[in-house]
Amino acid sequence: MRVQEETRTRAVHRWRWAALATLLAAEAMNLLDATIVQVAAPAIGRDLGGGESGIQWFSAAYTLPFAVLLITGGRLGDIAGRRRVFALGVAGFAAASACCALAPSAGALIAARAVQGAAAALIVPQTIGLIRAMFDGPETAKAFGSIGPVMGLSAVCGPVLGAVLAHAVSWRAAFLVNLPLAAGVLATVPLLREDRAERRPRLDAAGTALATAGAALVVYPLIQGDSAGWPGWTWAMLAGGAAVLGVFALHQRRAAAPLVEPSLFADRGFPAALATSTVFFAVMNGLMVVVVLQVQIGLGRDVLNAGFTLLPWSAAMAAASWLAGTRLVPRFGPRLMPAGLAVMLAGVCAAIPVYRAYPHAYPWPLLGALVLVGAGNGLFTVPFFTAALARVRPHETGSAAGLLNAVQQFGGTLGIAVLGTAFFHALPHGSAAAAQIAFGAAAVLLVLALGTAALMRR
């Protein structure tokens, strides 16, 4: 009898960790796709056209729907079942990836990328709920702890894998990588335990529509405005987007089933966390795009050079995240956040004179500056999410986590729009000068992030 019980326990243990591998593979697929496209975007633009704004849209078209639909995706999991919605998202992601690989034009690729982002918004919110459904006790912490290393490895591998595939085969192969990953995930979905909320929430369709419209009205003119010469309609759209987002905020205060818990804004610490997340991830995503653009468009190097240029950043970020999670955060807690931002700011400032010294040649010293940027990135992100949720009450946790993830993606979209536009606007003066301006703007944003992070701690 005891032997049978031990055998059953080992089988359940193996089942749980096999199911966790399914969830982690889907998470890695999402992150790999985002980083691969950032590296391959200039090569895609040379093949399909679409101009300077098209290169920005190849990434922004993915992150924008991902951002605005994340909370709705989580609610759908509560209503219809997290395993079911997870499987639907993975299938949609795979289909959209195939459409991306076969896209005949820049417009078709951008549309397929938007579908990919919407599918990712169905996948990612289900992970935490499914892990909680499958694990209990000390194993829950171990399961959540495995997410960080997988994400760090994906961040390191994404730029290199995208560069190697685009260089050796084609940029289309970078999208086809998702198909075997998605097939493996779908084959193991039956291992997941179905889970849904005990009390099914209602969908806030009006809130979702307002958030989507407001975000799109803000991002579209930021990307298209420079190439169009900033006519009146761009400023009208920006003003309209701000107004729609204001209406969204009012709607959330009055809605019966709001996307966002209004009580989250009673303590200024959480709004400060949202502002910090927006600014920080705008710098992170925007600078990655600028580095790739300067290497490929400015210096005329191939996609392989661009991918390996980002490798020191990604590797330092993964190493610093591990160090912060295992050693530094337990000792210093939220005090590590300003230190991480300061290290990142030092790397950004160090990159500016490097570009000045290498106006027409590959800036080798830039790799050292990017190590600092990546290290600061890792040191900041690990304590940030813990600090952001520290004063959130239990019934607000789901809404707070979803909103933080959504703002993270929206910040990344804004960064691609703002810093990418700054680079292209200054490109006629030389790619090194354009990169200096973009890095200078990023330094200003990091100083702003230091201020909002200080408000979080207060």
Per-residue pLDDT at 353 = 96
Q: Are residues 169 and 275 in the same domain?
A: no
* Residue at which a domain ends, from 191, 223, 241: 191
Query: Is residue 254 a part of any domain in this protein?
Result: no
Which pLDDT score, from 0 to 100, does residue 446 have? 96
Note the pTM of the prediction, 2 decimals: 0.85
- Scanning 169-302, the segments in alpha helix (DSSP H) are 171-176, 178-188, 205-228, 232-254, 269-293
d(CA 412, CA 415): 5
Residue 43 lies in a domain: yes
So what's the pLDDT on residue 318? 84
CATH code of the domain in which 177 resides: 1.20.1250.20
In eight-state DSSP terms, residue 201 is P
The reply to whether 245 falls in a domain is no
Does some domain include residue 89? yes
Query: What is the total count of domains within the chain?
Result: 2
Angle subtended at Cα 48 by Cα 42 and Cα 54, rounded to the nearest 5 degrees: 60
C-alpha pair distances (Å), 130 with each of 15, 74, 184, 458: 13, 11, 18, 34
| Closest by Cα among 5, 26, 16 to 138 | 16
- Say whether both 297 and 413 belong to one domain: yes
What's the domain range around 113?
1-191
Question: Do 185 and 268 belong together in one domain?
Answer: no
The confidence score (pLDDT) of residue 192 equals: 82
Query: What are the 10-residue block averages of pLDDT along the chain, 458 residues in total?
Result: 56 69 84 81 86 85 88 82 90 95 93 94 82 71 65 73 82 88 89 74 82 89 83 91 90 79 78 92 92 91 88 88 83 89 96 93 93 92 80 68 82 91 91 95 96 83
Residues 148 and 271 in one domain: no
Given 134, 159, 191, the domain boundary residue is: 191
Which of the listed residues 162, 191, 220 is the one where a domain comes to its end? 191
> Is the residue at 231 inside a domain?
no
